[in-house]
Each structure stands twice: as C-alpha cells, then as structure tokens.
Amino acid sequence: MRGSRFAQQGVALVITLLLLVVLALMGVSAMRMSMFNARISTGAQLSAMTFHAAESSLASTFDEVLDSNSPMLLSLLGGTPVRRCQQAATPSSQGACAQTARFDSRGLLQAQSRSVQLGVSPDLSLLEGAQLNGQQLLVPHRMEMAAVGTAPDFQVASYHVQEFNVKAMTDPGTLIARTKNN
C-alpha cells in the first residue's frame, strides 16, 4: 500500500504541470488574438478618418466652386487647375499640402483637393436652359474634383473623385471656339 501512495503523488505533480502549460498556452493565444483585433480596429478607424477627411475636403472645395464670385471658379473657368489644402488652423489654403500641414487638431491627417475644368458640357440638353444675358451666355461647364485624405504616419489614404456641372457666364464667341476645338 505504501508503494502505490508514492506513485500517486508523482502523478498529481505531472497532471498539475500539464494543466499549467495548457493554461499558459491559452493565455498566450488570447493575448495574440487581442493584439490582432486591436490592429484590425485601428486600421478600420484610420480608414474611416481618412474617408471623412477626403469628404470634408470635397465638400469645402465644392462650396467654394459653387460661389459664383469665388476666385477659384474664375481660375477654373480660365483653364487653370486649382489645388487646395484643408488645414485645422485655416479653412482652405491654396496649393498642395506641405509635409507639416495637418487637417485635424491631433496632427494625424492631411486633406487636399485638386479641381479642373473638363470643358463645356457635351450634353446638349443642358444647353436648352442656357440664357443669353447681354453678351454673356449662361452655360454648363464640366468640372472634376479629386480629394485625398491621408494619415501619413500610418501610410493610409482615401481617394474620392466627383464630376459635376457648374453653370457660368461665358462669352458666346469663346464657347463657339471651344466647341470647334473639342
């Protein structure tokens, strides 16, 4: 009876060690899964933040283009592409964003846009409502805006492109020349 008692004490130690190893492996596995989930959620959050930065840049630039007295619209109608950098301190600055320019107060995001005039709209149905105002004709011009929201430190970006028409006053002679060249 004494011999079997000593044999049982050794088995209890081995079983306890095996249970301890299994619990340690489960803990390491849970920790790795938690770190993986944290990376996924950080990526999703950065993606959403860059999306909203690009959308905000588009909205701000779109509002500026729709203002008939804006210098930006006049530049676009003159054929000059326009770049805008959206920053936290100033609503919109001309040109591409500098390396240090940031869109948000935390300094994580950049947001910028580029707008170009694609020409007079080829859709002749849009000209049906064109009005002659003295020597100027109110004509739809095709515009394209591209915006990008980036998180440079994390190498994440979101790109958005939007095409639209803007009715603007145009000299009929200029319109005829543009139509013949296209």
Q: What is the mean pLDDT of residues 173-180?
A: 45
Lowest mean pLDDT, pick from 14-18, 129-133, 135-139: 129-133
For residue 52, the one-letter residue type is: H
Task: Answer whether residue 131 shows pLDDT above 80.
Answer: no
4 located within any domain: no
92 located within any domain: yes
Structural domain total, the chain: 1
Q: 3-class secondary structure for the chain?
A: CHHHHHHHHHHHHHHHHHHHHHHHHHHHHHHHHHHHHHHHHHHHHHHHHHHHHHHHHHHHHHHHHHCCCCHHHHHHHCCCCEEEEECCCCCCEECCCCCCCCCCCCCCCEEEEEEEEEEECCCHHHHHHCCEECCEEEEEEEEEEEEEEEECCCCEEEEEEEEEEEEEEECHHHHHHHHHHC
Domain residues for 177? 52-181
**Separation in Å, CA 167 to CA 47, 119, 127:** 35, 12, 10
Determine the Cα angle at 163 with ends 173 and 82, to 5°.
Answer: 70
User: Higher confidence at residue 181 or residue 89?
Assistant: 89
pLDDT digits (tens, 9 = 90+) for 15-63: 999 999 999 999 999 999 999 999 999 889 999 999 999 999 898 888 8
User: For residue 176, what pLDDT is reported?
Assistant: 44
159 located within any domain: yes
Tell me the pLDDT of the chain averaged across its residues.
Answer: 80
User: How many residues in total does the chain contain?
Assistant: 182
Question: In this structure, what token pair is assigned to residue 103?
Answer: 């869109």
For residue 147, the one-letter residue type is: A
57 located within any domain: yes
126 located within any domain: yes
Using alpha carbons, select from 153, 143, 8 the residue that is nearest to residue 74. 143
pLDDT band for position 133 (cuts 50, 70, 90) = low
Is there a contact between 123 and 130 (Cβ–Cβ < 8 Å)?
no
User: For residue 61, what pLDDT is reported?
Assistant: 87
29 located within any domain: no
26 located within any domain: no
123 located within any domain: yes
User: For residue 9, what pLDDT is reported?
Assistant: 65
pLDDT digits (tens, 9 = 90+) for 72-92: 888 888 888 999 998 877 766
User: For residue 141, what pLDDT is reported?
Assistant: 82
User: Higher confidence at residue 19 or residue 3?
Assistant: 19
Is there a contact between 72 and 64 (Cβ–Cβ < 8 Å)?
yes
